[in-house]
């Protein structure tokens, strides 16, 4: 076992208090495409062109077709060994919080319980008029774009798009989880989308040990205590 993995394993073993932040990379081995890079493309669009209020106002059908496609992929997907390693970790640590940027629900499916979804949930539709949130697991959707059951207005995915504000209660809970932990583990995120990208730095600045697992180095890797390069589905089971 390589020295970095041994060191990270010892740090994790010696704490009872850990906060994890995950991104699209943890679901890549469940065959869910990540956002950036070639495989992030859907048709000819990049996520930055679709995950916006502006795109939705211009062409709600197009944006909903993207989400409908992703719902289809996620419905077929199963958690991978990286997800399950985090379930074992939660079972062992009395103070454990899992913050995820993913909207795919695979952490819940694997069995994690104390989860904060910072970018929303793929299976929820929010009315653009009355704000009611509907749970909807139809794949494909019966109607694109879907309408609100309450007031017949346009529904939108209950997710956080670019330039939208993450609810303050969610940010508060993430900051509390960082404050309470001794170790922060950051898995499979490119670290370019704020405010998630700064959470590891917040942890560092407040004296926590930060461990990163990613296929590649990220803009913040050099600020962290340990940066392990590799697939989360292979590294996390070794680590945890
Ligand atoms: C593996 C692997 C394997 C692969 N094992 N690893 C400061 C400066 C500049 C801009 C901003 C700023 N502050 C805010 C902004 C604007 C913006 C932003 O950050 N832009 C940047 C792109 C520059 N942020 C926002 O707009 C946020 N809101 C906000 O700040 O409000 C205030 C405000 C208001 C008005 C104006 C400006 C600010 C909201 C951000 C919401 C992001 N939403 C999305 C869509 C969610 C719904 C959906 O899924 O459809 O969230 S975009 C997309 O990116 C999605 C993801 O959660 C998020 C992060 O992506 P992630 O998870 O990191 O994925 P990838 O693909 O980028 O990376 C995958 C990684 O995995 C890679 O590193 C691989 O190497 C690795 N990997 N396989 C391990 N097997
Ligand atoms: Zn409504």
pLDDT (tens digit per residue) in 46-102? 999 999 999 999 999 999 999 999 999 999 999 999 999 999 999 999 999 999 999
Residue ranges and CATH numbers for the domains of the chain are 2-31+78-118+166-239 (3.40.50.1220), 33-76+120-159 (3.30.1600.10)
**What distance in angstroms lies between residue 192's CA and the mean position of ligand 1's atoms?**
6
Pocket of ligand 1 (CB under 6 A): 23-25, 28-29, 34-36, 40, 47, 51, 101, 103, 119, 159-165, 188-190, 192-195, 214-216, 218, 231-232
| 172 touches 199 (CB < 8 A) | no
CA distance 183 to 169: 22
* Closest protein CA for atom 64 of ligand 1: 24
Whether 15 and 182 have beta carbons less than 8 Å apart is answered as: yes
User: Smallest Cα–Cα separation from 162: which of 226, 119, 207, 201?
Assistant: 119
What pLDDT, in 10s, does the model give residues 117-168?
Answer: 999 999 999 999 999 999 999 999 999 999 999 999 999 999 999 999 999 9
User: Does the annotation mark 223 as catalytic?
Assistant: no
State residue 1's pLDDT score. 67
Q: Could you read off the pLDDT of 178-191 as tens digits, one per residue?
A: 999 999 999 999 99
Spatial separation of the C-alpha atoms in residues 107 and 111, rounded to whole Å:
6
């Amino acid at each position: 076992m390589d020295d970095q993995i041994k060191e990270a394993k010892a740090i994790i073993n010696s704490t009872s208090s850990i906060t994890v932040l995950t991104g699209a990379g943890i679901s890549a081995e469940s065959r869910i495409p990540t956002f950036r890079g070639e495989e992030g493309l859907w048709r000819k669009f990049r996520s930055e062109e679709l995950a916006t209020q502006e795109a939705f106002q211009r062409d709600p059908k197009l944006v909903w077709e993207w989400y409908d496609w992703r719902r289809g992929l996620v419905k077929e997907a199963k958690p991978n060994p990286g997800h399950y390693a985090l379930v074992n970790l939660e079972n062992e640590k009395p103070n454990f919080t899992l913050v995820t940027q993913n909207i795919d629900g695979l952490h819940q499916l694997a069995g994690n319980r104390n989860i904060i979804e910072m970018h929303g949930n793929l299976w929820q539709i929010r009315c653009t008029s009355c704000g009611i949130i509907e749970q909807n697991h139809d794949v494909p959707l019966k109607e694109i774009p879907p309408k609100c059951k309450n007031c017949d207005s346009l529904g939108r995915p209950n997710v956080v798009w670019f330039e939208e504000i993450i609810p303050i209660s969610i940010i508060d809970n993430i900051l509390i989880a960082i404050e309470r932990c001794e170790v922060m583990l950051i898995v499979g995120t490119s670290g370019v989308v704020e405010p998630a990208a700064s959470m590891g730095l917040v942890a560092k600045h407040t004296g926590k040990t930060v461990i990163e697992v990613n296929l590649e180095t990220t803009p913040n890797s050099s600020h962290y205590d340990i940066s392990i390069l590799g697939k989360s589905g292979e590294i996390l089971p070794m680590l945890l």
